[in-house]
Amino acid sequence: MDWVVEPFGKHHERGGFSCGKSMLDDFIRARVSQYEKRRLGKTFVAVLKGAKNVLGYYTLAAGSVSVEHLPSSASRKLPKHPVPVILLARLAVDRSAQRMRLGEGLLLDALQRSLDLSAGLGVYAVEVKAIDDAAAKFYRKYGFAPLLDDRLHLFLPISTVENQLG
């Protein structure tokens, strides 16, 4: 599949997007423009080169994680206040593009973008709140580890991203 990832724009066709999770479908169909306008998150979409139909997307936002929620191996040398993270708020792939490794491509793009942001901003990790067990399994495959507050609340230290992506 010959797709590209680009910042969301109003020209992108998203009305038919369906990943199988109504919350994620509703966001890209009806809410993304308001989130962009209010700077609550930045969404990036995957489209075929030269096309406008959204095949997948992810949203990044600023966040923090309570140091008490980090495993002791991660929190040992950290100050005892919330640590800055980049929240991978959403990641979804349209049913027509599932099982084509687009989810992996979107995740790697999000991690690279997070690494690039960390060069000019304090970022300890990338955080994700997986929508279900299948999503958590997907993220764990790429090195995300659970936080102590919820098995679906995961993180990946930015130092690990740097080691993986160089």
State the burial class of residue 31 (Cβ atoms within 10 Å of its Cβ: 0-12, 13-18, 19+).
Answer: middle
Q: Point out the catalytic residue in the list 35, 58, 124, 139.
A: 139
| Residue 139 annotated to the active site | yes
Kindly state the helix (H) or strand (E) to which residue 92 belongs, with its residue range.
strand 83-93
Domains and CATH numbers, the chain: 3-165 (3.40.630.30)
pLDDT tens figures, 13-66: 999 999 999 999 999 999 999 999 999 999 999 999 999 999 999 999 999 999
- What's the average model confidence in pLDDT over 95-118? 97
Assess whether pLDDT exceeds 80 at residue 11.
yes
pLDDT tens figures, 79-90: 888 999 999 999
Distance CA 44, CA 107 (A): 11
pTM beyond 0.75, yes or no: yes
Distance CA 111, CA 105 (A): 10
